[in-house]
């Protein structure tokens, strides 16, 4: 890590007030729950932070997750802040679940002008040697096919001018996770995003990617347990990121503030992939 004092504004800690940036918007967040890793003080994850921030900024949010209880917990947090949200239990890698999830989101929201896909896993051992056909197929089914299924189901239902945001990883930009299937799936997500942006442009539907780096989230902490030197990576801005910082990048892309931006990737990594 850098030796300078890290700068952490209120946005980075999730304590900044809402500013009405998504007033009237209706957004489906796929992967809006949070993994329980057995820590009582685990920092907020990307999916939960996005749901909370979107609601705080005035959106109505459908919180989808394969863990229905976790999605419901996110909704409870939103409701404590007087936000609007409801939970949907669905596995994005299953066709029937995706179709039902999209229908439930449409019924609950009335319309849909935002879709965020925050679904991803790592599986198998390190390096090619630790990668089996089974683990490879499992990762691609969730990290790539699940995104395709979700967009395919949602695209006909999205309002004109809607925005789609894929949550990827800097593993899609530079090698380093040591998990070939994970790296490959995140790189392939860029190709899917570009196609979705191309296809959606006819109705003004945009598609972009947020690529987080080393983040202090439940999944990030779990990754550090398996690879302790991950926490010692020299990040130019001097610290790991937060789920809130992923959320604010997604907020920009899901809002009309980015109305002329599509088929692009924003790395939220403290400068790690650019230095």
Residues catalogued as catalytic: 182
131 DSSP assignment: -
Residue 16 CA to residue 195 CA, distance in Å, equals: 35
Main-chain phi, psi angles of 14, to 5 degrees: 75, 20
* Structure tokens given for 184: 């490959």
Break the chain down into helix, strand, coil percent, rounded to 5.
Answer: 45, 15, 40
Residue 86 CA to residue 49 CA, distance in Å, equals: 15
* Structure tokens given for 59: 């959106």
> If we measure between CA atoms, which residue out of 101, 118, 119 comes closest to residue 109?
101
141 DSSP assignment: I
Residue in the structure block whose two tokens are 């998504």: 22
């Amino acid at each position: 890590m850098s030796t300078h004092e890290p700068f952490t504004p209120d946005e980075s800690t999730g304590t900044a007030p809402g500013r009405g940036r998504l007033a009237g918007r209706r957004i489906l967040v796929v992967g809006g729950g949070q993994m329980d890793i057995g820590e009582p003080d685990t920092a907020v994850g990307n999916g939960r932070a996005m749901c909370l921030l979107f609601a705080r900024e005035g959106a109505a949010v459908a919180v989808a997750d394969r863990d229905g209880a976790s999605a419901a917990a996110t909704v409870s947090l939103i409701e404590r802040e007087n936000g609007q949200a409801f939970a949907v239990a669905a596995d994005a890698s299953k066709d029937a679940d995706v179709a039902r999830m999209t229908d439930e989101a449409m019924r609950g929201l009335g319309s849909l002008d935002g879709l965020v896909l925050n679904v991803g896993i790592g599986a198998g051992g390190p390096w090619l040697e630790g990668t089996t056909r089974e683990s490879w197929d499992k990762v691609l089914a969730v990290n790539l096919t699940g995104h395709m299924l979700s967009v395919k189901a949602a695209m006909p239902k999205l309002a004109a001018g809607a925005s789609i945001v894929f949550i990827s990883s800097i593993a899609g930009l530079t090698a380093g996770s040591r998990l070939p299937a994970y790296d490959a799936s995140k790189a392939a997500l860029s190709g899917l995003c570009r196609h979705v942006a191309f296809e959606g442009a006819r109705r003004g539907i945009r598609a972009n990617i947020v690529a987080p780096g080393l983040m202090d989230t439940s999944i990030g902490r779990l990754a550090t347990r398996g690879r302790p030197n991950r926490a010692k990576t020299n990040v130019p801005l001097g610290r790991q990121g937060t789920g809130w910082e992923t959320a604010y990048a997604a907020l920009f892309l899901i809002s009309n503030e980015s109305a002329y931006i599509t088929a692009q990737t924003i790395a939220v990594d403290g400068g790690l992939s650019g230095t």
